[in-house]
Amino acid sequence: MTEYKDIATPSRTKEILKQYGFSFKKSLGQNFLTEPNILRNIAAAAELEETDRIIEIGPGIGALTEHLARSKGEVLAFEIDQRLIEVLDDTMSIYPNVTVVNEDILKADVKTVANDIFESEGDLKVVANLPYYITTPIMMHLLMSGLDIQSMVVMMQKEVADRITAEPGTKAYGSLSIAVQYYMEASLAFIVPKTAFVPQPNVDSAIIKLTKRDRPIVEVTDEAFFFKLTKSAFMQRRKTLWNNLTSFFGKDEATKIWLESALNEVGIDPKRRGETLSIQEFGVLANQLKANKR
């Protein structure tokens, strides 16, 4: 097969941007990668197979997209910026396995689009260099999309990557760590310096890998309530679990008895801080609160 020159070399990127008179929009988080090795490593971390269905968010000029396409899997890329569609039409023209959709990922019904576009029945994988201004909403949108996502290899600002992969008892651990790790096993793959982008962002980035759990980390009877509880426990990080829970659920006698007995029944000290509770402990507490009468 013909080997094409990588899009993401600094010189080729410059050439493409010049050819189309493209100017970056900061408001769309447009920081393009110009390090072919990093892109190769991202694609390698995703362990792609020919039968995979791959979703990318924000293909830009196709720097990562071409590495995904070379895996021979089917690639579906969502790009909000209309100006990039004609660029991608050109740069991706040699890859028949790539479909670009000009939509805002947060407004897209990803499940319906994916079902329309993909032909194979293989694993569904997300691989992307995310627009940083909406990293968390995109992650939640995908996790809640109802799609059976097998794994995600995504680049984001290092600080958010730390929060997503954090363990209980650490500063970075919070409701975001729990929301993601409830569904997926999370690990940090590698760090990317800001010098690998044009234009350079203000912060360093990291690639994380999320892999779907075979079984949920904890069986919860009411997911919405479980997420509400975890959020309430971190409302004021310096406060105890008791103070956060009573601030959120109420300080009346009936609510206090309801909270106190559930904590007591599952053996969680109300004086602990939310950040010391494991996901399993939050799950058990949520189930107990739901089971008890308020």
Site string for ligand SAM, 36-75 (x = CB under 6 A): ---------------------xxxx--xx-----------
Q: Name which position in 31, 91, 151, 175 contacts ligand SAM (CB under 6 A).
A: 31
Q: Is 78 in the site for ligand SAM (CB under 6 A)?
A: yes
Residue number with the smallest Cβ distance to ligand SAM: 58
CB under 6 A: which stretch of 102-110, 118-126, 236-244, 263-271 binds ligand SAM?
102-110
Would you state the structure tokens that stand for residue 286, as one six-digit string? 């949520």
| Other CB atoms within 10 Å distance of the CB of residue 291 | 10
- Residue 105 touches ligand SAM, criterion: CB under 6 A: yes
- State the nearest-atom distance from the C-beta of 117 to ligand SAM, in Å: 15
Check residue 100 for interaction with ligand SAM (CB under 6 A): no
Does position 196 interact with ligand SAM (CB under 6 A)? The reply is no
Considering the complex, what minimum distance in angstroms separates the CB of residue 141 from ligand SAM?
10
For ligand SAM, the closer CB: 52 or 275:
52
Detail the DSSP E strand segments found in 66-178.
74-78, 98-101, 124-129, 149-157
CA-wise closest residue to 89 among 69, 62, 108: 62
Report how far residue 111's alpha carbon sits from residue 144's, in angstroms, rounded to the nearest whole number.
Answer: 10
Pick the stretch among 79-87, 145-153, 159-167, 248-256 that binds ligand SAM (CB under 6 A): 79-87
Residue 38, number of CB atoms within 10 A of its CB = 22
Cα–Cα distance, 289 to 291 (Å, whole number): 5
CA dihedral sign, ordered 38, 42, 45, 51 = negative
Cα–Cα distance, 125 to 212 (Å, whole number) = 10
Q: Which residues bind ligand SAM (CB under 6 A)?
A: 28-33, 57-60, 63-64, 78-81, 84, 104-106, 129, 131, 134
